[in-house]
């Protein structure tokens, strides 16, 4: 059992009944403000029979209609520019961010000072879970644009008292130099970009495994939860690789402890449900639904994240009573592919490809052939015999996922490299087909 920084008497170690009671106490504290000032959620609360804070019980909570991203987006369209999900007058807000826009039009999100403090606190749990403390030097390979991404992690570091090293407006070479010169001990970036930095380091003959980086923390993509992607990052960086999950509109809801045994749900700051995709009933596997508890100024309640997850039944060896997700987020529900009758998430395909360190980058194209979907891979093979590696990848995907696919080898640096949310899957099927 590893020794964690957080005192074992903290909320992460509460018994579950006490934890759930404290969740509902927190939610109730915010409800009066929502009913008074938040047009978007006042409507939903009243629909569930919640007209005052004391009406909120576990029973009425279950009656509150779900919130979807489409709904929030439509609300911002109807009430531009920020929509109705604001609890206070606009001049109380201190930050504006927007989603990365990988799926549809970006969603704008405002925070007040208390909401931002809360967001940073969620990240503090991520750092503490990974054993990061005030003595650490944390490098952010992140562009610091309007996307909330690692801005909030930066705030988490401020709360922790660690040294922050911003890596915005730098290319990969400059970032590597900064990491080495400043003896950074922690790297925060997407899993894809950690591999990209490793590729550039290899070209420049910088030995990353000898660098001072001891921990890498990743968000934005499922990669750090995929065993083979994680192994590749840990080997190339000579560091422990930690997964994290969150979203602009939700906050930083998941973290890994040093057992690295799945993603812990931060149940001190959020209420979680998992619902069956078909029935909408409570299930151990399905879509993750989240309510945040400290962002009263711009909250989400019973928000359908679009993340497909699987709950682990067992308690974690770290002693925290928070539930865990097996293998992190399995994939985005909208991204699920049905290829020749086999249902598969892009992350499962990535995990198989990452068994092959010879493959520096890849892209996948999905086509409709008659009644079936067809998947073709483009592989950038930088070591060994390209066609032989491609055949081996095809075989591994057939053996492990039951998918028959075709692949072609493309030239080195032919495929795009990504700093934020990698796009590797291209859907060429006609929508509504």
The residue ranges that bind Zn ion (CB under 5 A) are 257, 259, 316, 318, 320
Least separation in angstroms between residue 259's CB and Zn ion is 5
CA neighbor of 352 nearest in space, from 385, 390, 325: 390
Least separation in angstroms between residue 152's CB and Zn ion is 22
Least separation in angstroms between residue 310's CB and Zn ion is 16
Nearer to Zn ion, 12 or 360 (CB): 12
Least separation in angstroms between residue 77's CB and Zn ion is 41
Nearer to Zn ion, 131 or 331 (CB): 131
Token couple for 326: 């097996």
Nearer to Zn ion, 195 or 257 (CB): 257
Least separation in angstroms between residue 257's CB and Zn ion is 3
Least separation in angstroms between residue 290's CB and Zn ion is 19
Nearer to Zn ion, 55 or 259 (CB): 259
Interatomic CA distance for residues 298 and 96, integer angstroms: 11
Least separation in angstroms between residue 11's CB and Zn ion is 14
Least separation in angstroms between residue 216's CB and Zn ion is 18
Nearer to Zn ion, 267 or 380 (CB): 267
Least separation in angstroms between residue 229's CB and Zn ion is 21
Nearer to Zn ion, 259 or 365 (CB): 259
Task: Centre a 10 Å sphere on the Cβ of residue 119 and count the other Cβ atoms it contains.
Answer: 27
Nearer to Zn ion, 5 or 28 (CB): 5
Nearer to Zn ion, 132 or 275 (CB): 132
Nearer to Zn ion, 258 or 378 (CB): 258
Interatomic CA distance for residues 433 and 430, integer angstroms: 5
Nearer to Zn ion, 232 or 263 (CB): 263
Per-residue H/E/C for the chain: CCCCCCCCCCHHHCCHHHHHHHHHHHHHHHHHHHHHHCHHHHHHHHHCCCCCHHHCCHHHHCCCCCECHHHHHHHHHHCCCCCCCCCCCHHHEEEEEECCCCCCCCCEEEEEHHHHHHHHHHHHHHHHHCCCCCCCEEEECCCCCCECCCHHHHHHHHHHCCEEEECCCCCHHHHHHHHHHCCCCEEEECHHHHHHHHHHHHHCCCCHHHCCCCEEEECCCHHHHCHHHHHHHHHHHCCEEEEEEEECCCEEEEECCCCCCCEEECCCCEEEEEECCCCCCECCEEEEEEEECCCCCCCCCCEEEEEEEEEECCCCCCCCCCCEECCCCCEEHHHCEEECCEEECHHHHHHHHCCCCCEEEEEEEEEEECCEEEEEEEEEECCCCHHHHHHHHHHHHHHHHCCCCEEEEECCCCCCCCCCCCCCEEECCCCCC
Interatomic CA distance for residues 242 and 3, integer angstroms: 17
Task: Centre a 10 Å sphere on the Cβ of residue 425 and count the other Cβ atoms it contains.
Answer: 17
Token couple for 79: 């009430």
Least separation in angstroms between residue 118's CB and Zn ion is 22
């Amino acid at each position: 059992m590893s020794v964690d920084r957080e005192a074992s008497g903290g909320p992460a170690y509460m018994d579950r009944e006490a934890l759930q009671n404290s969740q509902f106490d927190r939610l109730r504290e915010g409800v009066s403000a929502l009913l008074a000032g938040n047009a978007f959620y006042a409507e939903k609360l009243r629909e569930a029979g919640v007209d005052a804070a004391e009406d909120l019980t576990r029973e009425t909570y279950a009656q509150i209609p779900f919130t979807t991203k489409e709904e929030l987006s439509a609300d911002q369209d109807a009430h531009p520019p920020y929509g109705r999900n604001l609890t206070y007058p606009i001049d109380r807000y201190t930050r504006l961010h927007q989603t990365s826009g990988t799926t549809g039009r970006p969603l704008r999100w405002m925070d007040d000072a208390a909401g931002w403090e809360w967001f940073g606190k969620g990240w503090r749990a991520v750092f503490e879970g990974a054993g990061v403390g005030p003595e650490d030097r944390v490098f952010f390979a992140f562009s610091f644009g309007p996307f909330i991404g690692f801005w909030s992690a930066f705030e988490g570091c401020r709360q922790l008292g660690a040294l922050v090293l911003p890596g915005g407006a730098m290319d990969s070479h400059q970032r590597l130099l900064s990491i080495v010169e400043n003896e950074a001990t922690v790297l925060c970036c997407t899993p894809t970009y950690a591999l990209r930095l490793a590729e550039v380091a290899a070209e420049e003959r910088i030995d990353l495994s000898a660098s001072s980086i001891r921990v890498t923390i990743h968000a934005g993509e499922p990669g750090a939860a995929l065993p083979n992607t994680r192994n590749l990052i840990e080997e190339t960086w000579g560091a422990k690789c930690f997964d994290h999950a969150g979203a602009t509109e939700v906050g930083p809801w998941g973290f890994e402890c040093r057992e690295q045994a799945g993603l812990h749900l931060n149940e001190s700051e959020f209420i979680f449900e998992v619902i069956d995709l078909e029935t909408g009933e409570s299930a151990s596997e399905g879509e993750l639904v989240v309510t945040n508890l400290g962002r009263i100024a711009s909250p989400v309640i019973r928000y359908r994240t679009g993340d497909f997850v699987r709950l682990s039944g067992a308690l974690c060896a770290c002693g925290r009573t928070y539930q865990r997700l097996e293998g992190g987020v399995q994939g985005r529900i909208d991204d699920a592919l049905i290829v020749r009758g086999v249902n598969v998430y892009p992350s499962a395909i990535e995990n198989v490809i990452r068994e092959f360190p010879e493959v520096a980058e890849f892209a996948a194209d999905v086509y409709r052939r008659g009644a079936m979907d067809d998947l073709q891979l483009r592989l950038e093979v930088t070591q060994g015999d390209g066609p032989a590696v491609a055949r081996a990848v095809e075989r591994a995907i057939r053996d492990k996922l039951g998918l028959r696919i075709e692949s072609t080898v493309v030239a080195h640096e032919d495929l795009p490299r990504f700093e934020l949310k990698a796009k590797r899957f291209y859907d060429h099927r006609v929508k509504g087909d």
